[in-house]
Structure 1
Amino acid sequence: MSEYQKITESPSHYEHLEQMDTADILANMNREDRKVADAVALVIPRITELVDGLEERFYQGGRLFYIGAGTSGRLGILDASEIPPTYGMPHNRVIGLIAGGDGAIRKAVENAEDDTEQAWKDLEAHEITALDTVVGIAASGTTPYVLGGVRSAKEKGLLTAGITNNPGSPLAQAVDIPIEINVGPEFVTGSTRMKSGTSQKLALNMISTALMIRIGRVKGNKMVNMQLSNNKLVDRGTRYLMEGLHLDYQEAQDVLKKYGSVQKAMEAYGK
């Protein structure tokens, strides 16, 4: 623990932000943002380990839980909420939990992240089992809500991972798979909704998308299991079938409506 330093709280590389004109503010922010993808690339081996562990557990009925507070919690909920419409998975397979409950999605709940017991209570409400996986998300790596949740999960035999922006943090030390993304100091000192949050979003995209591909929710490069919940998605599915089955637009749409998904339609046609 003696080597642990909160990089996320380190002073910005830029001084006197209030004296910059708008173009300089934006250019300097963009300069910092360009560092994020390279930082995420360095942790691909850890993300690979997590996705492979998730794939094995998903085939046995396991689920993926994200837990976080503030921006980190909201990013987990965002990623989880996109899985059913994009890949046709039930809502209870990838679940995001935030300190303070659903009300904290829009408005911060005072002191919610300081409760070390609540995350496990929130997980238990979903009848959690050893087949499930818990991913704690905390830029600081010290959020009590997240730390308490992953420690309890690990004690109960669940696979645990932690996404943090401070290498060597308590979160990294508490989990089976630490994903430590060092993006450096923020443009505005300590504002982890910026580069840290962006890096978390990239990592979450990678985790959930790779998992959905590995468990067969993508064919070729298409979202063949997406929910046909609006005209845009019906049109997209129709065009997928036009390409895959060599049908005209109306024929493809009729087939899509008959079978209810691109995947089922392709299977019906032996594709």
Structure 2
Amino acid sequence: MTGYSPSWLALREGADAAARAADLLVPLRAALPPDGPLVIWDLGCGTGSLGRWLSGRLRGPQHWILYDDDPVLLDLARANAYVTADGPPATIETRAGDLAGLRASDLVGASLVVASALLDVLTAAEIETVAAATGCPALLTLSVVGRVRLSPSEPLDAEFAAAFDAHQRRRGLLGPDAVTTAVKAFGGRGATVVTRPSPWRLGPGQAALTAEWLRGWVGAAVEQRPDLAPFADDYLGRRLAECAGGRLTVEVHHLDLLALPGGTS
């Protein structure tokens, strides 16, 4: 479902936490049921980083259902404690499954559906499946939107960025178009949909993450456009040297999306 390695998810967790649009929690809290335990589904949960961030920002008893198709990631997610804003730990269960098989009947009783860095690796049909199955508030975070800025800049930046975006759209995946599709899918079912920017801002303090992101970004670009291969090694070498020397900053733009069903906004 996500296709991410545990090491990559661990490396990005701090940047993800810093980037998420915390102001969306105000309308989210107002839309959640005031009584009884919250039942929260985390789709494509990975190692559970979103749950670790969000559980401590919501009050009251919480039961998290972690949903992913990778049993290794589910085992890692299950091993972590989620602590609520009130102090007691949340309860956790894991379920293995693919989004294509998700049904509204699965989410009966859900108080909230969440996901992180998921929408952009889905197809339009998969986003329609999520929207159709979700009858409660949904908080879908950190979807890329196809805007990257490196400083200092180089002429080749735009070439690699365009190739990377094309790679994200391969085989029908939505990539940078995912948020627009999700807004239409939830809005078409009567939900009030709000988006907020949630950019990574990576500087010298995130050099390890920046370097790993650069390798993946350039690698995906070359996979999509082999004509970039003759320039890739030198380009990547320069960028990694700048990163190691504390001279490179990178902004990777995302959007967070909050969908509130009719009557809860």
Give the alignment's TM-score, normalised by structure 2.
0.38
The structure richer in strand per residue is: 2
Taking structure 1 as the reference length, what is the TM-score of the superposition? 0.37
Larger Rg: 1
